Amino acid sequence: MVGAVNLTVKVSGPFFQLGPGPVLNSLHDAIQETVLTGEAEGVRMAQPRERGGVFHSGAYAAAHGYRHTGHYARSIHGRMTSTLNGVISDSGVVYGPWLEGVSSRNQATRFKGYAIFRRTRDKLQRLSRDILDKHVKKALGKLR
């Protein structure tokens, strides 16, 4: 699936010697928050803007007799696939690769894509340490 962000967590250090229960719970909570944050970010980037849409202008839509539907934004969903794995995807929308900019059609036209999932991935990489730290501190507080 082209339009997807996969999350993987690598663990090490003394916190993980405390036992599986609190550690797994804090990791699960951190991954779940990261998935929800990424889903919200992807939907935000796919939403039509106030003055014209992300995918076409408001003037173009009005001239051609249709309105923005927000279908692509509604197709972006995040979910946990297991205890320590989450995925954010566009639910396999056919035009997803074109909007992302990884379709062969992008090479044949000036449109290079919006890079919604690449930009979401980059933002999550910047935020993930803070999200994990928050949940680890919460778990440590429960252990004391």
If you ran DSSP here, which 8-state letter would residue 89 be given? E
Instruction: Give the model's pLDDT for residue 68.
Output: 60
Number of domains the chain contains: 1
Distance of alpha carbon 3 from alpha carbon 29, whole angstroms: 24
Q: Is it the case that residue 22 has pLDDT exceeding 60?
A: yes
- Outline where the chain has alpha helix (H): 20-46, 58-63, 71-75, 96-100, 104-108, 116-143
Instruction: Give the model's pLDDT for residue 59.
Output: 60
Distance of alpha carbon 108 from alpha carbon 104, whole angstroms: 7
Distance of alpha carbon 17 from alpha carbon 23, whole angstroms: 9
- Domain of residue 63 covers 4-143
- Per residue in 41-71, pLDDT (tens digit) is 999 888 766 544 445 555 666 666 666 667 7
pTM (2 d.p.): 0.74
- Per residue in 92-138, pLDDT (tens digit) is 999 899 999 999 999 988 989 899 999 999 999 999 999 999 998 88
